[in-house]
Structure 1
Amino acid sequence: MSLTKGSNTPVPSTALRVELGWRPGPGVPDADASALLLTGGKVSSDADFVFYNQPVHPSGTVRHEGKHDLGGRVTDTLLVDLARVGPAVERVVLAASADGGTFGQVPDLYIEVRDADRDTVVARFDSPGATVESAFVLGEFYRRQGAWKFRAVGQGYSSGLEGLATDFGITVDESQQHTAPPAAPSAPVTAAPPTTPGSAPVTAPPPAGPPVPLPPPVALPVTVPPPTAPPPPAPPAAPVRLTKVTLTKAAPSVSLAKQGGTSGAMRVNLNWQVRKQFSGWGGKRGRAVALHADLDLDLCALYELADGRKGVVQALGNAFGALHRPPYIHLDGDDRTGASADGENLTINLDHTQDFRRVLVFVTIYEGARSFADLHATVTLRPQHGAPIDFSLDECTVPSTVCALALITNTGGELVVRREARYLVPERGVSPQRTVDRAYGWGMNWTPGRK
């Protein structure tokens, strides 16, 4: 059902896929989908803001699934399970923000709500022409008489994602602003011992008559509690970071340290989608032949440590690595579809930055195809602290079975990430691993392996 601004329609209380879409092109900024769970018009906590830096709500009811390039259209998707949304939540606001421009530069912007189980369209709102807005509330789910409805909103913000987030009660990291000067130190104070009423010495006048014998004094124990300081206030929750870094051919490198990524775990994610299923290159002159196949990609990493040790982390041969001992890199699992929000993941322990000399993250085709042709993939490096780093792979035009994704090098004690996005074509009889090894001079010996 196509809606106009301000109109609404009932939606099923099931899992819904919310798709933000637009038409890409030269000079068109990237756009990002987000959701806010509201109670009384505001979030209950910063965790109620789901977006690229907080992709999953603690309850699991809202999830940011990420982007896909569908050829002539780019989508960013949220999954919302209304049946599991807490009873205190009155609205789920669905928003979009433009990265590096305004929505006046984004053509054919729309939001579409689909039943995730049946893959049918429940509602769609094509946003009217925008100008200087850099953030939009495109729609919202809201409760009405015990049922959920979707409303087309179309409210713009010229203050971007930050203005939209703060308007709904999100505490945004203001690290870009000037730090307030420290308070002037107070004069030193010397605490005097506590006194009680009547503790000052008193001189009694002499008795008027003969002295009256007094009973001997009795010592009574008196316990004076020590002065107690008020309990320290609870530390404030960390503010939400809105920044992210997108690597391009023109700006391919970034220092993790300069983005705040100096410790903790860094997750490296590969997510992909295949527009057409290809079994490989065939026919005359290498023409691509479209055949049905299940494409299985493997995310891998070559590593070289500071002490000279070298190796590979990959599913092949069950070389999954380790996070808290060398090589401080761990492969989380083996996703055979790439269609989920998880995709394939490596985790790198940034607490051991000084133990790394270089790490090359690459992907191979294990089965289902002999080329990356028509594959649409996004790589995201998400440090535990600091801004996420992402980039997309270019279209593959050669019969490649291995692609170098990112090279991470220790430069002056800092890890620098460089976008490679380099498709390699193995020679006949040469494995993809050996091919990427030769291209980057790792110098390892290889033997056949299985998973």
Structure 2
Amino acid sequence: MLKGANVRIPAQVVRIELGWRTGPGVPDVDASALLLTSGRVRSDADFVFYNQPRHPSGAVRHEGKRSDGAGVRETLTVDLGALEAAVGSVVIAASADGAVFGQVPGLHIRVLDAAGGAELARFDSRDATVETAFVLGELYRRQGQWKFRAVGQGYSSGLHGLATDYGITVDDPAPAPPPRATAPAPPPRATAPAPPPRPAAPAAPASRTPAARPPEPRPVPPARPVKVTLTKAAPAVSLAKQGGTSGTLRVNLNWQMVRPAAVGWGQRLSQAMAGPTALDLDLGALFELTDGTKGVVQALGNTFGSLHRPPYIHLDGDDRTGAVESGENLTVNLDHAGAFRRILVFVTIYEGAASFAGLHATVTLQPQRGAPVDFLLDECTVPSNVCALALITNNGGDLVVQREARYLVPRRGVSPQRTLDEAYGWGLTWTPARK
């Protein structure tokens, strides 16, 4: 499986195997599972690992690890049918003992049918570097069925940092008491001879119980993917690498008008924008699905789309202010990422100006479970009323965001939407509409 891809799990009970190759300098790795409700654990009991190997419900168990000389396998068993109804997902994570995952070769996760041993899913992690903990995969409910998603999101703060991110309380170790001041030693004096030593008591038999592992160091805040600002020099980013592999992706456009310099056609535009009509920008998206379906989501014609059925894109509303708190918002359902072939996010001027000249705008793409991606629109230097903002394409199951920031100038009598269509080869048929 590729990062971000998902597959249906038909088995009732699955065995999760975390594996890697051994060798000189390869650290030990520990697997764990977190049972989540609305993205967080309900209590520390929802964390299953080597020191807490069984969930109270009995649905998730840590079975230990085995080595065959060339590799190591650590196993967890998940009874999907026995999971409580409140549990929406089970995250499978790993932590490296005192090292980073860039030193762990062949790291992978397999989902097996516990009854017959058939492999249902496999994800190989190939891009680890400085991470000391990883979310490798996630079992999650979707419309009454269980699915597995390849995640591959890393942390630099170990198992405790990852656990804290999902709502587990991590107790900080108590500080060591300060050393007591020592009084100077008294001068030597004569003493009576010391009594002979008593015979030592017989040693207690060694305990057969394995020693508990020492606690990990105090965790630092978990290393989340950092915000990415797209530029002309670095115009693209993978949503999966930003942690945006599920949930929703909100695309926000907010703006502020600054009158352009009073030269040439810009002077005439500034005069036009000084009128009483408020500037009304419309955010929209052209979409193409993997089944060949094409269309548009926009306020014009009241084609606001849908989040939970095709095209899995929804325009939240029609804003006329450009305020940072609201602006225009478009939402994409990343749980159906596999249904998208490409999405072109665009903005048009509905009324209030003849061009984007003087527009200061920011585009922000905020995944529900990841870090934001944003970019500024370049200054408009052509008489344009339609701008292609970002192109989102499906690259082997991973959605890649490409900054466009491309101002287009329609031919006389041609609508902004048709101009956009022709520039990107969408091939739709357009008819007049109002909102």
TM-score range, shorter chain: 0.3 to 0.5
TM-score by length of 2: 0.48
TM-score by length of 1: 0.46
